[in-house]
């Protein structure tokens, strides 16, 4: 018994030394790890180049919305540059190795919000077709939100919403993995809505109000209200709702030829983009339903009811 006791106590007696040695080793490893971590440069995710480009897109989008009511040329230019920067931030992310989940979410949210704002304006410019534009807004937001949620819930937090396997959907896989297809689809989709926006200022066919003339008393009131202000900022950022801006918009009425050409060229791609949104919505819903079905089976649901 004594021998057994000594055998039991032997390791125990030696354990403080071992524990001390292990503790020192662990402390040295932890200190070394902290030293390495301190030596590594700390990155500010919010100030990475792709995200800075994303902030620039937001600023340009807000500026385009400011000029949207009465300055179609300025608005279209700012809006188009904001959309084109969408391709640049992806290139910057790959070039600088700065792809982040925050950047991906920022990019998607900016795309959805800018498109929605333009469609809201088109709803007011063409009230007869307002329900169609409202439906396009809903489809765009719903399909992308459910697709991203399904990717995170079913594919894991590390999986990108652009990693779509061909077995799940060939058209979505081509759309998200081929950068040329993705750029052309998104660019021409936005180009169609920009063309409609320009046509609201230039085409009497779509906007019969353009055929109306300004009465003499209204024109006189407009000229009296168009006062010149000496402030430099007010010259640069003129109020788009002022009487002077309204008169300027009427004088600089646009020709509808090129907007019609742009609308005709981009319409098939825009229609295809909406079909892709529908496919994306349906596939994401089915993927979530598959996950729900597996989870319910794991919980033993539905339970068999006893029959009398």
192 vs 190: CA distance, rounded Å: 5
Q: Within 10 A of 10 (CB to CB), how many other CB atoms are there? A: 10
Q: Token match 């079905």: residue?
A: 293
Q: What is the DSSP letter of 255?
A: P
Measured at the CA of 119, the angle between CA 204 and CA 150, to 5 degrees, comes to 155
Of 67, 99, 4, 95, which Cα lies nearest the Cα of 237?
67
111, 165, 216, 292: the catalytic one is 111
109 vs 107: CA distance, rounded Å: 6
| Region for residue 97 given its phi and psi (left: phi exceeds 0; alpha: psi -120 to 50; beta: otherwise) | left
Q: Token match 């790890």: residue?
A: 33
Phi, psi of 242 (to 5 degrees): -75, 165
User: DSSP strand E in 180-272: where?
Assistant: none
140 given a catalytic annotation: no
46 vs 25: CA distance, rounded Å: 37
Instruction: Tell me whether the omega of the peptide bond preceding residue 302 falls within 30 degrees of 0, making it cis.
Output: yes
3-state helix, strand and coil shares in percent for the chain, rounded to the nearest 5: 80, 0, 20
204 vs 257: CA distance, rounded Å: 12
**Residues labelled catalytic:** 111
């Amino acid at each position: 018994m004594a021998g057994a006791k000594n055998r039991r106590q032997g390791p125990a007696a030696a354990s403080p030394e071992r524990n001390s040695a292990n503790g020192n080793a662990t402390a040295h490893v932890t200190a070394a790890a902290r030293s390495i971590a301190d030596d590594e440069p700390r990155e500010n995710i919010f100030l990475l180049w792709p995200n800075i480009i994303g902030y620039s897109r937001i600023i340009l989008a807000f500026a385009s919305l400011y000029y949207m009511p009465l300055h179609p040329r300025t608005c279209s230019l700012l809006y188009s540059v904001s959309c084109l920067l969408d391709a640049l931030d992806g290139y910057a992310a790959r070039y600088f190795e700065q792809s982040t989940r925050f950047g991906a979410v920022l990019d998607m949210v900016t795309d959805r919000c800018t498109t929605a704002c333009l469609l809201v304006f088109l709803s007011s410019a063409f009230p007869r077709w307002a329900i169609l534009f409202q439906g396009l807004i809903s489809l765009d937001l719903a399909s992308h939100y459910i697709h991203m949620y399904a990717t995170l819930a079913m594919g894991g937090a590390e999986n990108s919403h652009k990693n779509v396997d061909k077995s799940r959907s060939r058209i979505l896989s081509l759309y998200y993995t081929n950068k040329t297809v993705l750029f052309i689809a998104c660019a021409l989709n936005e180009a169609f809505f920009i063309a409609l926006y320009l046509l609201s200022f230039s085409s009497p066919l779509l906007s019969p109000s353009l055929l109306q003339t300004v009465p003499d008393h209204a024109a006189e009131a407009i000229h009296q209200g168009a006062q010149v202000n000496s402030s430099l900022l007010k010259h640069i950022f003129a109020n788009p709702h002022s009487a002077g801006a309204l008169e300027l918009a009427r004088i600089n009425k646009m020709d509808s030829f090129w907007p019609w050409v742009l609308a005709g060229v981009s319409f098939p791609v825009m229609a295809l983009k909406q079909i892709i949104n529908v496919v994306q919505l349906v596939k994401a819903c089915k993927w979530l339903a598959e996950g729900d079905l597996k989870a319910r089976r794991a919980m033993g649901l539905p339970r068999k009811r006893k029959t009398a």
